[in-house]
């Protein structure tokens, strides 16, 4: 059965068969009891790129374009290591990075398949330059 972003919302209630953890656990298997028993690690309590993309389709079907774009970027970032993600976040704080450094981060994200997020970093760099918020080399 295919996914319909209008009919199948909310995913967890209407189509739990489409929602799983990064390790492949079914949504029904993600319980507090399983967590307490040690059957589920912290890495399993994350949204998968597939689930985030379906949520983006739901948002788009509801006319929430900006939310859909954010969820698409989140889907890209689900596979990015946490330490890299935090480093990019820090670099995006005003005055923390030069335009060249932000371009390096964007290129690195592209190399990981996060092309929409890389474009977002480039847009931020341009806005920071316009507003004088880049670090000085």
CATH number of the structural domain spanning residue 108: 1.10.1510.20
Q: Taking 80 as the threshold, does the pLDDT of residue 1 lie above it?
A: no
Residue 63 and residue 86 in one domain: no
Q: Taking 80 as the threshold, does the pLDDT of residue 129 lie above it?
A: yes
Q: Taking 90 as the threshold, does the pLDDT of residue 13 lie above it?
A: yes
- Residue 113 — very low, low, confident or very high, per pLDDT cuts 50/70/90? very high
Looking at the structure of the chain, the number of domains it has is: 2
In what helix (H) or strand (E) does residue 87 lie, and over which residues does it extend?
helix 82-91
Residue 46 and residue 58 in one domain: yes
Q: 67 is in which domain, residue-wise?
A: 1-79
Tell me how far apart the 2 most distant CA atoms of the chain are, in Å. Answer: 55
Q: Taking 90 as the threshold, does the pLDDT of residue 83 lie above it?
A: yes
Average pLDDT value for residue range 35-51: 91
Q: pLDDT tens digits, residue range 92-106?
A: 999 999 999 999 999
Of residues 101, 80, 79, 81, the one with CA closest to residue 91 = 101
Residue 113 and residue 68 in one domain: no
Domain ends where: 63, 79, 95? 79
- Please tell me what DSSP assigns to residue 69: H
For residue 43, the model assigns a pLDDT of 85
For residue 111, the model assigns a pLDDT of 96
* Radius of gyration of the chain measured on its C-alpha atoms: 18
């Amino acid at each position: 059965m295919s996914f319909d972003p209008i009919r199948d919302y909310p995913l967890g209630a209407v189509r739990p068969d489409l929602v799983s953890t990064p390790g492949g656990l079914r949504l029904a298997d993600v319980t507090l009891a399983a967590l307490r028993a040690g059957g589920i690690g912290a890495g399993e309590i994350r949204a998968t790129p597939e689930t985030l993309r379906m949520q983006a389709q739901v948002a788009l079907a509801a006319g929430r374009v900006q939310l859909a774009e954010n969820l698409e970027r989140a889907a890209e970032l689900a596979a990015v290591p946490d330490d890299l993600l935090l480093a990019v976040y820090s670099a995006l704080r005003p005055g923390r990075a030069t335009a060249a450094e932000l371009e390096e981060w964007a290129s690195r994200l592209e190399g990981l398949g996060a092309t929409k997020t890389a474009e977002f970093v480039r847009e931020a760099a341009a806005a920071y330059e316009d507003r004088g918020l880049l670090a000085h080399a």
